[in-house]
C-alpha cells in the first residue's frame, strides 16, 4: 500500500504549479481527479514539444491521474465539482485569487460543504496583500523572490534558470503543506484548512542568507556566474578540451586534498587558508591556481584525479548525459512509461525514495475526459454533466 492510498484529491489547477503538486501526491498513491475544460483540456497538453498532437511533458505531469471534463464557468460544472468535493480530502487550485469565489467554490462554501477538506491555493502573490489580484507567473515570482537578480554573469542581463522553477518550488511547498494539513487532521483530530502558497514566497524561501546579510551589513548580493560568493573555492574551471569541471573544494579538509592533488602544497599548508573566511579573502588567487591546473588536462582527466583524491567534482550534464548515466539508471530515475495510446516514453522517476511505501507509476496520463462518464455515475451527476472522451 502506498503512503497516500485512500486520499482523494480534486485538481482544478492548470499548467504547472497546481498540477505538479497533484502529480507529487499521485505518485505516492493519492487518487487525483483532474478537472479540465471540455474541448481543449489543460493548456499544458499543447506546451513544449508534441508527439501525435500531445505534449510529452503532459505524460509526466499527469501520470497517475484521472481526467474529468467539466466547465467550471457554468452552473452545471460547478454543481458537479461540489458533488466531487463532498467526498474529497484535498482540492488544489492555482487560479487568480477571487476566481474560485466567483464560481461559488470559495473556501467558506467548500468548508461548510466538507469540513474535513484541505484546500491548496497557489497564486502569484497569495490570497492577501495589495498584489493579490495581480496575475502572476513563475517568471515574475522568480524575479520578486530575488532569484532572477542573482542568476547570470556579473554585469550582464539577469537570466532565467531555463525552467519554470518558481512554479515547481511552489508546487513542492504546496505538497508539503498538504501533508502537514493531513497530519494535523488525521493524527491530531483537526479539521480541514487552507494552504496559501505564493509563487514569490516559495522562491524567497530558498534565498538563504540574502536578507540577514542586507540587514546586518547593507550587502546587496549580485550575480556571480558559476561561483558561490562567500564560499571558496567552488566554481566552474576550464579544461584543456574545452569542457568545464565543477569543483567544490570549500570544506576545510577537502581544500587541503584539492591543493595536494593539483600540486600546490604551498596553498595546502598556508595557515591563512585553513578556514573558509581566509580562503574567501584570496579566492581569486585560489581560483587561478585551480584553473591553471585544469587547463593542462581534459575534463575526464581532471575528474579522475579529483575522484581519487576524494574531492567533490563533476561535469555539466546535458539530457543526453542524464539518460545514459549509470547512477540515474541504478536509482530508477530514468524509467519507461506507457502512454494512453499504448506508446512508450522515457520519463523522470519518482522522488523521494521511500523504503516502505515507495511511489510508483500506476497508470499513464489520461485522455481528456477519459473518466468523466465513470465518475459521473459514481457520484450521481446529472447526465448533462458527462462529457465524451476527447483525444487531445
Does 167 participate in catalysis according to the annotation? yes
pLDDT > 90 fraction of the chain, expressed in percent and rounded? 93
HEC string for the chain = CCCCCCCEEEECCCCCHHHHHHHHHHHCCCEEEEEECCCCCCHHHHCCCEECCEEHHHHHHCCCEEEEECCCCCHHHHHHHHHHHCCCCEEEECCCCCHHHHCCCCHHHHHHHCCCCEEEEEECCCCCCCCCCCCCCHHHHHHHCCHHHHCCCCCCCCCCCCCCHHHHHHHHHHHHHHHHHHHHHHHCCCCCCEEEEEHHHHHHCCCCCHHHHHHHHCCCCCCCCCCCCCCCCEEEEECCCCCEEEEECCCHHHHHHHHHHCCCHHHHCCHHHCCHHHHHHCHHHHHHHHHHHHCCCCHHHHHHHHHHCCCCEEECCCHHHHHHCHHHHHCCCEEEEECCCCCEEEEECCCCCCCCCCCCCCCCCCCECCCHHHHHHHHCCCHHHCCCCECC
Q: What is the mean pLDDT of residues 52-60?
A: 95
pLDDT level of residue 389 (50, 70, 90 thresholds): very low
Cα-to-chain-centroid distance, residue 267: 40
Amino acid 362: pLDDT: 95
User: 248 near 228, Cβ under 8 Å?
Assistant: no
User: 325 near 317, Cβ under 8 Å?
Assistant: yes
Give 308-357 pLDDT, tens digit per residue. Answer: 999 999 999 999 999 999 999 999 999 999 999 999 999 999 999 999 99
391, pLDDT greater than 90:
no
Amino acid 274: pLDDT: 97
pLDDT level of residue 377 (50, 70, 90 thresholds): confident
386, pLDDT greater than 50:
no
Sign of the C-alpha dihedral, residues 367, 373, 378, 380? positive
Per the structure block, which three cell numbers stand in for 259? 591543493
Domains of the chain: 8-205+328-385 (3.40.50.10540), 234-317 (3.30.1540.10)
Phi–psi pair at 138, nearest 5 degrees:
-55, -40
d(CA 9, CA 342): 26
d(CA 23, CA 357): 16
Amino acid 378: pLDDT: 82
Amino acid 27: pLDDT: 98
Whether this model's pTM surpasses 0.85: yes
pLDDT > 70 fraction of the chain, expressed in percent and rounded? 97
Measuring CA to CA, which residue among 44, 62, 69 is closest to residue 54? 44
pLDDT level of residue 390 (50, 70, 90 thresholds): very low
Amino acid 145: pLDDT: 97
Phi–psi pair at 234, nearest 5 degrees:
-155, 120
Give 107-123 pLDDT, tens digit per residue. Answer: 999 999 999 999 999 99
User: 282 near 270, Cβ under 8 Å?
Assistant: no
pLDDT level of residue 382 (50, 70, 90 thresholds): low
388, pLDDT greater than 60:
no
Catalytic residue among 27, 31, 42, 167: 167
Amino acid 376: pLDDT: 87
- How many other CB atoms are there within 10 angstroms of residue 227's CB atom? 16
Per the structure block, which three cell numbers stand in for 233? 573555492
Amino acid at each position: 500500500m502506498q503512503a497516500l492510498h485512500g486520499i482523494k484529491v480534486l485538481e482544478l489547477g492548470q499548467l504547472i504549479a497546481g498540477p505538479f503538486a497533484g502529480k507529487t501526491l499521485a505518485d505516492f498513491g493519492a487518487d487525483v481527479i483532474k478537472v479540465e475544460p471540455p474541448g481543449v483540456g489543460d493548456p499544458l497538453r499543447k506546451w513544449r514539444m508534441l508527439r501525435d498532437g500531445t505534449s510529452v511533458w503532459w505524460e509526466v505531469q499527469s501520470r497517475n491521474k484521472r481526467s474529468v471534463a467539466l466547465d467550471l464557468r457554468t452552473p452545471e460544472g460547478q454543481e458537479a465539482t461540489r458533488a466531487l468535493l463532498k467526498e474529497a480530502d484535498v482540492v488544489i487550485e492555482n487560479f487568480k485569487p477571487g476566481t474560485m469565489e466567483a464560481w461559488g467554490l470559495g473556501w467558506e462554501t467548500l468548508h461548510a460543504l466538507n469540513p474535513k477538506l484541505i484546500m491548496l491555493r497557489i497564486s502569484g502573490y497569495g490570497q492577501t496583500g495589495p498584489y493579490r489580484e495581480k496575475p502572476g507567473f513563475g517568471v515574475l515570482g522568480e524575479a520578486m523572490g530575488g532569484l532572477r537578480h542573482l542568476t547570470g554573469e556579473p554585469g550582464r542581463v539577469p537570466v532565467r534558470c531555463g525552467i519554470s522553477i518558481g512554479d515547481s518550488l511552489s508546487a513542492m511547498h504546496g505538497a508539503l503543506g498538504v501533508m502537514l494539513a493531513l497530519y494535523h487532521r488525521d493524527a491530531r483530530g483537526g479539521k480541514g484548512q487552507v494552504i496559501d502558497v505564493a509563487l514569490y514566497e516559495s522562491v524567497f524561501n530558498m534565498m538563504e542568507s540574502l536578507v540577514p546579510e542586507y540587514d546586518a551589513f547593507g550587502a546587496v548580493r549580485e550575480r556571480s556566474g558559476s561561483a558561490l560568493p562567500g564560499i571558496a573555492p567552488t566554481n566552474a574551471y576550464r579544461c584543456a578540451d574545452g569542457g568545464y569541471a565543477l569543483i567544490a573544494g570549500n570544506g576545510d579538509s577537502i581544500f587541503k586534498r584539492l591543493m595536494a592533488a593539483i600540486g600546490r602544497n604551498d596553498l595546502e599548508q598556508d595557515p591563512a587558508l585553513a578556514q573558509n573566511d581566509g580562503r574567501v579573502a584570496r579566492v581569486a588567487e585560489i581560483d587561478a591556481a585551480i584553473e591553471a591546473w585544469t587547463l593542462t588536462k581534459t575534463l575526464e582527466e581532471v575528474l579522475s584525479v579529483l575522484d581519487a583524491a576524494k574531492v567533490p567534482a563533476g561535469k555539466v550534464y546535458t539530457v543526453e548525459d542524464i539518460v545514459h548515466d549509470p547512477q540515474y539508471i541504478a536509482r530508477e530515475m530514468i524509467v519507461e512509461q506507457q502512454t494512453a495510446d499504448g506508446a512508450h516514453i522515457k520519463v523522470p522517476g519518482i522522488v523521494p525514495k521511500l523504503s516502505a511505501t515507495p511511489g510508483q507509476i500506476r497508470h499513464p496520463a489520461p485522455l481528456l475526459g477519459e473518466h468523466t462518464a465513470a465518475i459521473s455515475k459514481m457520484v450521481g451527476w446529472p447526465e448533462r454533466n458527462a462529457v465524451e472522451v476527447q483525444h487531445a
